[in-house]
Amino acid sequence: MMRLNEAINDPDLDRTARLDALRNISGESVKVRSVGRENAEINNHIHTIYSFSPYTPSMAAFLARDAGLAAAGSVDHDSIAAAAEMIEACAVLGIGGCAGFEMRVSFKNSPFAVRKINNPDSIGLAYTTVQGIPKQSIDLSAQFLAPIRERRLERTRAMTAAANNMLCEADLREIDFRRDILEKSKYCEGGGITERHLLAAIAEKIILEYGRGKTLAEALELKLGLKVSSKLAALLADPENPHYLYDLLGILKSELLGNIFIQPDESECIPADRVTAFAQSASAIPAYAYLGDVGESPTGDKKTEKFEDDYIEELFAELSRLGYRAVAYMPPRNSLEQLRKVRRLCTEWGFMEISGVDINSSRQSFNCPEVMRKEFRHLLDTTWALIAHERLASVDGRFGLFSGLNPLSSLNLESRLAAYAKAGKNLDLFHPEESAASIAEEIFKGRFV
């Protein structure tokens, strides 16, 4: 009989079975172990099996709670398929939950058409998140993303052909797109296909040929011409390394992807203002994902490179024009100087700040101690404001933080965020939908102002 913790993370089970396993393993004891809301970490950017990750939504929520987080949110590439399970799993565990999606958008009709913005792979294309998606907009989001998912699938199929040419030259077995990529993804359940799916398939062919250990690390340089740092070579030399596939994938993303990458067009990366307009129509929050000039990459898959810092003031003006409402960033990735500038610009342009660390590898920790530093503790409150926004807008779209019909719309953003943070902390996290309805009534009475 499958153990409950294995069932929670089984991608072959349906979400109902995973959630049932989560309820069974948690039981009443979860109420005793629930973390406090005032002084606990948060993470709003956890990837799941519906893009590329070792974790189902139920397991992502479980590990977040187990790491001491008070709130967790799923963000998948080109997919909102994790949303319902993530929200319910967080409620089972008594932590705050939210959901969104991430996609690449075009800035071709802007002053940044020929600049590298926050995307290491492309010029004029930028990562954007849409967060705080209310319940009634989940299906709308899936419909919105469907043609984008399909186009990315076809581009990945074409990149697989290029990868097979490379594998053949290196005397490695070819990838069967359907068996090795499509069937291992959750595409048929609304998930997204990403470059990481392709790179994982390449990694598996390399492991199949050379096994795990020093021989493989040496073959990367001799057979594939890839540069491998001494640190990563040591990790690959250890056949017992539990994160082996993800460490190898990180090297392939940094050193090999450029050789087979096919640039997406605007049928896949649609104009940014189309995405912000959709987000606002769905009572969700469109956020620009700040990257900043990269030094050492935490996940080992990004080279040292310059991005938007040299022209960030100009960029913020364009983000405002395009209809963005927030900026998402990850404190571990940037220097204090970088983030102080981002914070200043968010205040000047009236953008909400959203934080989270993109978890897509088993090596990554769910903890982000940087968010507990004095300079970033406000991100705890903005997370609770995001959760309140999502739950309240699920009751009535007028309660969206940026809705002109919001009963608190006359307040400035700082005051609105403070009110919503207070509302989020007053939710019954085991029954967030039911408690949101009563909190909505209280907001009309001015209780949370």
pTM of the model: 0.94
246 and 315 in a common domain = no
Asked, for residue 151, whether it belongs to a domain, the answer is yes
Final residue before a domain boundary, out of 260, 282, 299: 260
128 and 8 in a common domain = yes
316 and 191 in a common domain = no
431 and 372 in a common domain = yes
Structure tokens at 177: 């797109």
The position carrying tokens 């640039």 is 263
Are 60 and 85 a contacting pair, CB within 8 Å? no
Asked, for residue 332, whether it belongs to a domain, the answer is yes
3-state secondary structure of 52: coil
pLDDT averaged per 10 residues in sequence order, the chain, 449 residues: 78 96 74 58 96 97 94 98 98 96 96 95 97 98 98 98 96 97 97 97 97 95 92 96 96 94 96 98 98 68 81 98 97 92 97 94 92 91 97 96 95 96 95 94 80
Structure tokens at 435: 């408690």
Asked, for residue 407, whether it belongs to a domain, the answer is yes
Q: What total number of domains does the chain contain?
A: 2
| Whole-angstrom distance, CA of residue 71 vs CA of residue 90 | 8
141 and 218 in a common domain = no
Under the phi-then-psi rule, with left for phi > 0, alpha for psi from -120 to 50, and beta for the rest, what region is 269? beta
66 and 24 in a common domain = yes
170 and 67 in a common domain = no
pLDDT digits (tens, 9 = 90+) for 365-386: 999 888 888 889 999 999 999 9
The confidence score (pLDDT) of residue 111 equals 94
Asked, for residue 417, whether it belongs to a domain, the answer is yes
29 and 10 in a common domain = yes
Whichever domain contains 401, its CATH number is 3.20.20.140
285 and 414 in a common domain = yes
Range of the domain at 233: 147-260
439 and 295 in a common domain = yes
Asked, for residue 449, whether it belongs to a domain, the answer is no
46 and 100 in a common domain = yes
The confidence score (pLDDT) of residue 236 equals 97
284 and 405 in a common domain = yes
